[in-house]
Structures are given as C-alpha cells and as structure tokens.
Structure 1
C-alpha cells in the first residue's frame, strides 16, 4: 500500500481534535501513564481503523425518525439497510424505517458498479449535518460501510439518539483474506454458537471462516453416503474422569452438523459476506474416519475415536477404494460449501503406518516415487485434481510443500513463516497463520484467572504488531500473500465462553492488522478505540477476554509485617482505581499511584477506567498472612519449559458432577517446577495442593522427551529440593492420599529450619507419566 498522503494525515489529525465535541478524547489524566497511556485525542471508535478519514464541521443526529434510503428495486441494498436498522434497535433501542429514493436527513445506501473504488470491498461514507451516504460498487462494500456507520453510532455505548461527527471516510482492505479458523473436532460448538462468532467477525470486517470439521477426535459433518462417519466418528470417550458418569460407566462426547445445519450456517455467513472454507483433514488426522470405516486405514483394524491430543499415527491408505470414498465425501462437501477453496489439511501425517505397509510400499514403487513425502504429494495432488475438476481450488497446510505441492495449491503456513516464504517464492498464493504468533489457543496473559491453553503468552499487542508480509519476500513475491488468519484449536477450550474469550478481542487486533494500511497502524490509538469495542461485546452478550486491561495483584510481606500490594495491567492502559472496604471500585475511587501498604487482613478490589468507564471486570485480592506466602501454579517456573500448558482438570474441584474445574499448569514432558526466591525465615511447614490429569497426549517422535522418575515411596511422592533440582532434598510429600481422589488434594510436609531466600524445586517422582501430576498452589506456613 502507498503511504498516506500528507494532506490526508493532516486531515486525520484535525479530525482527532474536532471529534472532541461529540466523542470526548482521553487525556493522560483519564488514562493514567505507562506504555498504553493516551497521548492524543482518539479518532473515532471504528475497528478496523479506516484507511482515510477527512473531518467536516457539524454533527449528524441519527434517530428512529431518520429515514434509510435505497434505490428502488435494489434488493441487496434493502437487505443491508434493514440489517443496519435491526442492529441499531439492538444497540440503541430505535429502528429507522427503510424506503426508496435519496433524501436529505437520511442515510442513503447506494450501490454504484461504476464507483471509482479500489475493490468490491471498498466503500465511501459521507457524513454531514444533513445526513449520511454510503457508496460502494458491490453489496459487500456497502455492508462494510454500514458496519462503520453502526460503530460510529454506538461509540458512546448509550441508548436513544446518536450524534455522529461529520466526516468523510474512504476505506478499503489491505488484504483479501482476513480469517479465523475454528476447530470443532476437538470440542463441538452449536450452530447458534457458530453464528454468534460469525456476527462478531462481520462487525470487524473479517471475511473468511475456516471450519475445521474433521480430525482424530471427531467427524462433525454429515455425509449421506457414509452415515457411520457421524454415528461412530462423531463420538469419543474422553480420557480420565471426564469420560465416566456418576456410576463409573463410559460417558460419550458427541456432536455433528446435519447437512441442513451446514447450509444454514453457510447462508448466514454469506449474508454477512463471510466465506466459509471447510476443512476435511487428510491423509493424517483421520482416526475418527477410520474408526467408522476401518477399511480406509492401512492396518484394516478399527481404532477408537481418539480421546488423545497430539499426533496420532492413523493414516488413510492409498487404495483406489479409499479415493472413491474421499471423492464421494468431497463431492457432498462441495455441494454444501460454495467457497472457491476447499481445505484438505495435509499436516502432521506421521508416516509410520505407510512405511510399515507392504501394500503402501508397493504403491510407492509402482508410482516411481522416492519416499513417503512424495507419496503424500501424489495423494494430495490426486484429490486436488478432483476438486479442480469441480471448479474449486486446493488449499492445505504448509506440509504439502515437502513432497512438491500440487501446481495450483494455495499454502497456509502454520509452522512459522518459512512455509509462506518458500511457497511465495515458488509462485504459490499463501495465507499466513503461523504458530505461535496467530495461534489463539495460546493464553493471552499469565494472570491467575487466564483460561486454559498453551504457553507462551500471545497478547493483544502481539497480534496487533504481527507483520503479515515476511520481510524476506520481494515486492513481486509479496503479491502472493493473500492475507492472514488466526487459528483456534480447541483441545483445551471445553466451553463456548472460553472459545469467545480466546478469539476476541485478539481477533479485533488481527482485523485491523489485515484491513488497515500499514502506515495507519497505531497501537496506542487502537487502545483508545478498544473501550467502545469492549462495551459492544458486553452489550451483545459476547464473552470477549479482558486480559489486556484486567488488574493484576503482586503481594509480598513488608518489614513491619503488613502487606505490600502492587497493581498493574498488561497493556498499561487506563487509570487503576481501587477500594479496600469491600465496595466496587468506581471512577471516583482512590487512584492507584504506588504500591499499597495494607494491614492484614484486607481485601482489595480494583479496575482500570477510561473516560469514567471500566475496561474490565473488577478483580479482587484477599491479603492475609497465608495468601502472602502462597503462589498459584501460574506463578511457578517450569524447570525445562517443554510442552507447557494450562490444563483444565478432568474432574470438578469440589467433587460435584457439574462443579468448576481447577486450571493446572503442567509440562507434558517433565512435571518439574521452581518456586523462585521463597522467603523461608520462620517457615516450618510446606502445603501443596496437587491434582492429577490423564496423560492423553500422542507425542509421536517426541514421546522420548517425556521424563519419568522412579517412585521412592509407595504410590510415589512430590519431592522438594533446595536451590536447584539437583540440590539438597528438604521435603517428601507422598502422593498415595491424592491418588484416591479425581479432584484436588492438599499435601503437607515439615520443613527443616531454613533462613533467607531460596529457590524450591518440585518434582513428581511417581514411577510413571500417566497420570500427569500437577501443582495447583504452594503455601509456606510458619513453624509450629
């Protein structure tokens, strides 16, 4: 994209100052200090930020009596205008009427195929004190213009009439692929839940929904010719306590979409100008399909639908009958999905079974192929040719490059960016969706109340700052970059609430990254627009995460025996205000300026505010002698930082069937943790709350990295060492009592007399790796 012109930049700056009349800017006094503090008046609360904004004098008053005008006979413009009116009714409580013919004082919705705009997705929005006009050359651009006007009308979060600053917006997207991927194979989401996600995508101008419908853990799409795919492949028995009912009997986890439901979702998305790209993963991640039809596999045996995460080794075979099956499946898929692209996976296809199979090896020789990677390329190419014969195009994960990709394949790069670089240099179109940068199953903060997911942290700011076009590409090669997509794998996302929190508001940052021209990216300005966006999520009942803004507490014992508590938030944005009397913090509560010295016991409640509005849910922290010496698992350090995860326990913490489950930090490779700098003066007892998790991970070649330690006492023990994991043993906590409970158990041990600060290393010497033992929290107690 060309840099913004000096004229437009000056106009945008002028608009920032002008908008104060109806959308009050944040000042440093309002926002506090820190890296995210407001440094200038905010523009207008639109995400993604428009490409160009030119200020005008005056304001437009949008009310229930404001007419919405379309050209006679323009059905698409009429539908978009009615959608706009319905959204106003939901957000502000009034619904303007739609009529025909342009008029003053109206909002005019115009589709002009000859409009001099950059693309079908582009639009102009002219707002004066006499009305507003949205112009686009295609319905999709008109829809995006209406979304922008709706955001302007809801910027203050209020009800009733809306005052909108006069301005002219010229807008067009930076990339054509602006996507989210949702995995429903691991954890199924209902049609209504998917639609709620599509609504939020549309309101952020995201246009591609990649639907991961099949995997080892579940087949989620009805195929008429093969009913067992959903009857058998749509159910699994979860690992551990989650897979047993109250009587100890197997408790299946099931779910799939009927073809009518698929059509409904595809139509719903199309009405919001979102393309749904289906994924049928192959030749690996096929265990659910092979469980349903064992003849499709290499061994002829029927595995269970997998309860395990990771890389399972069940592959489709390479027989003609299997290709007939896959072509029949893809034929039905293409009947349901009109998208240009059909995603065929191609990732993590462990070749063990192919290597051991005489039949597969005979096929490899018959085709005169060098190895199994070339066989996979042939496999993908054969199916790619089939879908191309139907007028579609193959897209797959970057492993399809390894044996030579099909000629017209589009590559989705997930193993970092190298796959995108190699593909673009070879002339293939690419979509960037690399791990960990755009993998939204990574947690977004290290706070105690963060949802389950992978470590390390991928924050809101990280996503905003992600560079979509690799610097290694030339300008000509960069033309192959279609855009970017965030992926949400749901192994650890059991509930829809967690799915929504994992996706938004990070998806809003991705939306701006992929829509707005790079010279217009501005993290601090984005933060200024986030309060309005967070308010919109709340109004819609959508559970977006507030991790970037939520107050965090760090406490320690002061010299006089009181507690010292430090307050902060991840983004450094907003003024933190707090109370100590149990009341909810408000914009007039005490402003946080320095660490708080409090008498014990005390309870601190805090939130961050901008322009008098809270940025997050209130957080509370109880300060007492025990809490000051307690660290949750999130505050412990992994010894080796292998495959570290925040995992939900498989059993409720309180023993009730539907109770909340604890979130436990664990390293799948090595359950070893360090409590850094423990203050041991006067400490005589160590209390550790532990849990056990099923080791339901298929690690393929990485299985050799799993560490087991021999049990030194019957049932195993949690062993504690001083100043390093090879240091002096100071405590042994037998695990036998904890083995009797599926939930959490509290263990205690007496410590020898120690003084000063020391690192404490915790290792589970249990004699095996299943179950995985994990620490919930560690407490240091005074001597008796």
Structure 2
C-alpha cells in the first residue's frame, strides 16, 4: 500500500497508440525497455520527445520535487500518466505500482489519482537457503522477478551450510567437486544415513553449485531489478561440509567429527580469507553475511590449539573466542571495503560497533544491538520463518514445525515500543527466512513463501498507519492469482 493515494474524477486507458517518453539516458532507457518486455506492458515504444496527450512519461526530476532514493510520484488524469522520481530506483518502484494497477484493471483503464510514495525501511529482504536443497539459477531469477514486483530489495543468499557448499571457489575446487554432493536425495535420509558427502561423478550424487559465471549472471540480473544480493558464508559453525573436505581446519583433524572451525589454527583464517576474497570479487554488496549462529563451541573447550589461542589473547570463555574470530574476520572485510552482518549470536562475547545484527531468536538481539548503537534487521522466527506450517498441519506439505499464518505475519511490528526515536532509526528493516530442510522442490518452496512474503513486503515498505489487515488480505489474494 503506497504512503499516500488521492483519487480524482475520470480515468485513462492505455491503448496501442499510447506513447512512452523518458528523460533517462539511452543506456538506462534500453535497460528499461528490456525489463518491460517481460511485463504486462510488453514492448514499449519510447518517443524522442514529451508525449503530451495519450502518453506515459517516466521522468527523473530534482530531489527537491521527489525526495528519497526509492521515492516516486505517479499522477494519472484523462491525458495520461506522469511518473516522477529523483533516482532510477524510484522510477523502477513507481513502475511496479503502475504494473500492479494495470494487473488489477479492466482493459488497461486506470483511475485518475495522485500517489506519493516512499518506503518505511531501507532493507526489505528474502532469505533463500540453497544448502539443504539446491535450487538452480533460473529459480533464483524467478524469485528476483517477484521480489522486484513487490518492491523488495535484498536477497540474502545462504550459499554454505553443513548440508552442502554451493559456490565455486577457484582456490578450493574440492568444495564443489565433493562438498556440494551427497549420496542421498532427501536431507532427512542424509541426516540419518551418516551425513557423508561424495564425489560429483558418483552415480548417487545429489546436489549442485553455482559457477562463478552463474553468480555474476544472477548478481547482474538482480541489479537490473534494483536488488542487492548479500551472500552468506557460514562460520564458525554449520561447517560440516568444509571440515569433511578439509579436516585440517577442524579441532580433531578428522573428517565427520566437528561442525565448528578450529579457531586455534591460522589455517582456518587463511582458508576463510581466501574464500572471502573470491566472494568479494563476485558480489558488490556492501555487506557480507558471516553467519555466526548455533556454533556448539564444544570442541574448543578441549582443543589444545583453541586453548592456547584463548590464553594468548587473554580470553575468558569460548564465547569470547567466537567473538575474537568474528572481530578478526570483520577487520579483514572492513580492510577490503565491506561490512559484516551476522545472526544475533555474534553479540555473545562482545560486539563490534560496525557490525549489523540479524535478530532471529526473537526481537531481543535486535533490541540489544540498537541500544549498543549497532544497526539491526528484524527477522524473528515467530513472525518471519516461512518454513513453518501456515494451515492445519495435516493438510500441509512437510514443514519445520510451528504455525505461522498470513495474518500473524502481517501483525508483526519491527520497531519495539521499548526503543527511543534515535534507537528506532537503527532498525534497517525486515526479512523473511526460508530454510529448506523439508523443502526439496521449487513448487514446495513457492508454496511456503507465497503469499506470506507479501505481508513482510508491505511491512517493509508501507507506513504502519496505512496498514489494514482486511484490505491487505484482499489485495494479497488478488496478487497471487495474477
């Protein structure tokens, strides 16, 4: 729902004679033409001068007229449509609103109106886990198309986890020739069958990975839709696949024993830094997600190398040992012009002032982060974990558990009442998370995400005062039936 909508008398109908005009550069105009080709507007003939009557104008304007990087204004009257924004991103989001109006209209007839709109939060995200079950690049592109339509602007790509490594790293080819493949079709079978990996050419091999060319293609596709992809490389826990392949990075030195990297050996940091250098080269995102969640830390308590590291660095607990690792990786990324995001466990043992916290174990981690002056993204499981059941479980496909209806998702308020105005400004936005332990197919994935992600899209974009459940429910049902 836009921030402000005013209806006027009359309407405008888009016809085959309707001409388009934009003052965007020739390169940007061509990119826009290519994008619109796949939408309900179809092939758009741009004129060389302003169109006047029976026209649609998409114009960059001064920031004093439309303020905000993602803001736009739409004016529709009987003469035509004028879309104005001070940035190309604003033009793009205004087009999404125009497309939504068209997709819910009869014969491309639109009501006369004025829309002034801008997002509530700068971060509006979807998380995709491709480790537990692999989804190819065309599936990812399809989700990017849907995200753009609903004005979402961050894809959090969970590329590594204990169940499989999904990104080509030139320096460590065994990550994709071995750690990306398992001799079991379903994750549950792998989980109870020894949790082993196999060679890519094994007849039983199930899995996959993205080549670096695939990554570049998807990143460029996302950028054309004004979406930033944030890659996640898990550390120090959820790393069984790496340690099965390179056991010297574990505390035991043996495959299939540990899930956490050994923090006491410099080989761990050499490996992670080499991986991150290639990740940085592939992803222009300001942020790199480094995980940080659910590390057991148990092997560190008895590992001589980890204990020595703790003594040398004057660390009093394994929580502080994890914090040492996170700070060290963060410094490496900062030195290369990037920042880190981590799950809320990165708070344990001390938090760097430049780290951003993704709060998943409730809202407490986000609250603690912003009260310390850090930025936070709210994604608590109670409202944002879309792998939960959304209806009576005996009527639904397999899910992780729990019960999360569309209405409950929509009821989420990302800014807790306990925050001051200044602290509230550190809440960057919201994200819907999809974990794929029990989601082996694209059809199952899309069943779980839609329409619940639409509730989070509206929470991220629309000001709270325009949110109304009954109105949203009607629009969401229309949207998923387009």
TM range (shorter): over 0.9
User: What is aligned with 2:99?
Assistant: 150
Q: Distance in 2 between matches of 1:232 and 1:216?
A: 13
Q: Are 1:129 and 2:81 an aligned pair?
A: no
Kindly report structure 1 stretches of 4+ aligned residues shifted beyond 4 Å: 239-244
Tell me if structure 2 keeps the 8 A contact 1:315–1:349: no
Q: Are 1:366 and 2:312 an aligned pair?
A: yes
What aligned pairs does 1:513-552 form with structure 2 within 5 A after superposition? 513-536=459-482
Tell me if structure 1 keeps the 8 A contact 2:370–2:427: yes
Q: Are 1:65 and 2:65 an aligned pair?
A: no
Tell me if structure 1 keeps the 8 A contact 2:70–2:87: yes
RMSD between aligned residues: 1.8
Q: Distance in 1 between matches of 2:182 and 2:352?
A: 34
Q: Are 1:272 and 2:220 an aligned pair?
A: no
What aligned pairs does 1:82-481 form with structure 2 within 5 A after superposition? 82-88=34-40, 95-104=43-52, 105-156=54-105, 161-238=107-184, 251-303=204-256, 313-446=259-392, 448-481=394-427
Structure 2 gaps of 5+ residues are: 195-201
Which one has a larger percent helix, Structure 1 or Structure 2? 2
SS at match of 1:98: coil
Question: Compared with structure 1, are the counterparts of its residues 397 and 58 closer, same or farther at alpha carbon in structure 2 (3 Å cutoff)?
Answer: same
User: What is aligned with 1:773?
Assistant: none
Q: Distance in 1 between matches of 2:57 and 2:30?
A: 11
Question: Compared with structure 1, are the counterparts of its residues 373 and 447 closer, same or farther at alpha carbon in structure 2 (3 Å cutoff)?
Answer: closer
SS at match of 2:384: coil
Tell me if structure 1 keeps the 8 A contact 2:293–2:346: yes
What aligned pairs does 1:678-693 form with structure 2 within 5 A after superposition? none
User: What is aligned with 2:451?
Assistant: 505
Q: Distance in 1 between matches of 2:2 and 2:474?
A: 15
User: What is aligned with 1:700?
Assistant: none
Tell me if structure 2 keeps the 8 A contact 1:64–1:96: no
User: What is aligned with 1:490?
Assistant: 436
Mean Cα deviation higher: 523-532 or 227-236 = 523-532
Aligned length: 470
Offset, 1:317: 3.5
Answer with 1 or 2: which has the greater Rg.
Answer: 1
Question: Compared with structure 1, are the counterparts of its residues 223 and 113 closer, same or farther at alpha carbon in structure 2 (3 Å cutoff)?
Answer: farther
What aligned pairs does 1:669-684 form with structure 2 within 5 A after superposition? none
TM-score (norm 2): 0.94
What aligned pairs does 1:724-743 form with structure 2 within 5 A after superposition? none
Q: Distance in 2 between matches of 1:323 and 1:452?
A: 38
Q: Distance in 2 between matches of 1:381 and 1:425?
A: 19
Q: Distance in 2 between matches of 1:507 and 1:72?
A: 32
Q: Larger relative contact order (C-alpha < 8 A, sep ≥ 6)? A: 2
Offset, 1:302: 1.4
Query: CA-to-partner distance for each residue in 1:709-739, whole Å, 9 max, x for gaps?
Result: xxxxxxxxxxxxxxxxxxxxxxxxxxxxxxx
TM-score (norm 1): 0.58
Q: Distance in 1 between matches of 2:188 and 2:451?
A: 33
SS at match of 2:40: helix
Which one has a larger percent strand, Structure 1 or Structure 2? 1
Q: Distance in 2 between matches of 1:135 and 1:240?
A: 51
Offset, 1:296: 1.1
Q: Distance in 1 between matches of 2:238 and 2:203?
A: 24
Tell me if structure 2 keeps the 8 A contact 1:64–1:95: no
Structure 1 gaps of 5+ residues are: 1-48, 305-311, 537-784
SS at match of 1:448: helix
